[in-house]
Amino acid sequence: MIYRGRYVNRATALVIALSCVALSAIGAGTLLEKKKPSIADEELFFAPVSKAVCGPGDKPESGLQGQVPIALRQTAFQGFSCNLQLLAQVKGEGAGWQTTEWREGKGKNKKVCAYHGTAHPTNNTLPRNNYGVRVIDITDPTKPVNTAYLTTTAMLDPWESLKINERRRVIAADNGANGGGPGYIDIYDVSGDCRNPQLLASSGLQAGENGGLADPSIQGHEGNWAPDGLTYYGRGRNYYAVDTSDLTKPKVLSVWTNPIGGGYHGLSVSDDGTRGYFISTGTASIASLTDPTIPATNGLLIFDLTKIQNRTGVNPQPPLISSITWKDGAGAQHSINVKIKGKPYVIFVDEAGTNGNGVATRQAVCDLGYNPYPIARIIDISDETKPKVISKLLLEVHDPANCAKVTPDLVGLSSFLYGAHYCSVDNIH
């Protein structure tokens, strides 16, 4: 679907787009702190954000900010809307986790294309005729047209790895295959005519194709480019880096483990390619929430990627510069390194709330004053050796004080709930 935003609050320094019902967060093992906004850059802000100002013809929320009351869910509810106008839609046969787009040219030569994944062919809930990544011409946003399907191995289900590299004008994905297929990378050229991407490579990674490292831990699921397009980073049962200097012959050049013992998910890379903002996933038990001696493993890892960027040695191992973890979130999803007024930050998104998305422990989490739903947060990395959470992106549904009002909405639901999953920003710079 294609929407047009109608209203932007210019007082907001950063626009964050959410493909989810809501957002949430808290700091390293602390209870929800309520602080008011401040002009000072370092002032913490851990309270629900102000409500949006909706326009004429909108259908604003009727309950708490971010809430869909169960009474509405049990009817033919068609959704709320605020400052969004539906321009057009092109119906298909389902979608996957991620979308991306490519823009080129101006005036009569302008082309704009959107791309999104679909479920793997073995994961069919409904019969369908087409598989793979959909290519949609959205040059005229009121008349989108499906122009192609990309059906090579990784594109059959890119999961959360479908990414454009603007500098080299290519789109790539690793082999998500229902959440974790054998390591594979597909790369297509989108320049010239983004409506018909041209295949550059569809290469296996586990077996060391094209002279790369062979490692059975290399899988598909999530991934991202270094900005210069010379390296694609992925996550399997470890983290790995793929040399894409030759786009037709990608090869694995480094594989390394999570040094704090957590799991693996998304990532982003600094403009110069020398810093990586990687995810460590983890879930804190209820007992550990009140025990400061039990370390958290859910949070941000900052790696020095210089050796990988410079292709130094065989299987270069990136040193860990620092990490920051918390217990009031779990299932860490991905990071976005940004600059706001020239100052560096990381937007960090969790996929699960405190103690995960478990139904049985939701009330216990609320009773301890924690938010049981996943949120995003803003981390100040001005001193990369001491990253600091300065904002938690909360709506009213995430305030533990509202647990009693919100919990009834979630009867029969066990995951994704009132929370973040995948977020983006309007401008990383």
Identity of residue 302: I
Instruction: Indicate the Cα dihedral angle 81, 161, 282, 20, nearest 10°.
Output: 0
CA distance 187 to 200: 5
Which residues face 376 on adjacent strands? 349, 393
Residues 6+ apart with CB under 8 A from 57: none
Nearest to 327 by CA among 366, 371, 358, 392: 371
Residue 224 in contact with residue 289, Cβ under 8 Å?
no
The CA–CA distances, whole Å, from 145 to 10, 91, 139, 171, 243 equal: 33, 10, 9, 19, 34
φ/ψ of 231, rounded to 5, equals: -140, 135
Q: What is the pLDDT of residue 399?
A: 93
Residue 133 in contact with residue 118, Cβ under 8 Å?
yes
Residue 67 in contact with residue 396, Cβ under 8 Å?
yes
| β-strands 222-225, 231-235 pairing | antiparallel
Indicate whether 8 pLDDT > 50. Answer: no
CATH number for the segment(s) 2-86+148-425: 2.130.10
Mean pLDDT, residues 302-327: 98
- B/e letters for 203-213, b = 16+ CB within 10 Å, e = fewer, are bbbbeebbebb
Which residues face 261 on adjacent strands? none
Mean pLDDT, residues 221-226: 97
Indicate whether 46 pLDDT > 60. Answer: yes
Q: What is the pLDDT of residue 24?
A: 33
Instruction: Indicate the Cα dihedral angle 328, 371, 264, 160, nearest 10°.
Output: -160
Maximum distance among all Cα pairs of the chain, rounded to whole angstroms: 63
Per-residue pLDDT band at 6 (split at 50, 70, 90): low
Q: What is the pLDDT of residue 27?
A: 36
Identity of residue 130: N
Q: What is the pLDDT of residue 357?
A: 82
Q: What is the pLDDT of residue 19?
A: 39
Neighbours of 167 (CB within 10 A): 11
Per-residue pLDDT band at 425 (split at 50, 70, 90): very high
Mean pLDDT, residues 198-206: 96
CA distance 333 to 58: 31
Residue 267 in contact with residue 303, Cβ under 8 Å?
no
Per-residue pLDDT band at 192 (split at 50, 70, 90): confident
The CA–CA distances, whole Å, from 8 to 12, 53, 70, 342 equal: 8, 9, 30, 22
**What does the radius of gyration of the chain's CA atoms come to, in whole angstroms?**
21
Q: What is the pLDDT of residue 7?
A: 47
Per-residue pLDDT band at 40 (split at 50, 70, 90): very low
What is the per-residue pLDDT across 275-284, written as a single tens digit (0 to 9) for each?
Answer: 999 999 999 9
Q: Which two tokens stand for residue 370?
A: 């924690």
pTM of the model: 0.90
CA distance 390 to 382: 12
CA distance 328 to 3: 33
CA distance 301 to 158: 24
Indicate whether 22 pLDDT > 60. Answer: no
Per-residue pLDDT band at 43 (split at 50, 70, 90): low
- pLDDT top residue among 128 and 279: 279
Residues 6+ apart with CB under 8 A from 417: 21, 353, 357, 373, 374, 410
CA distance 205 to 216: 9
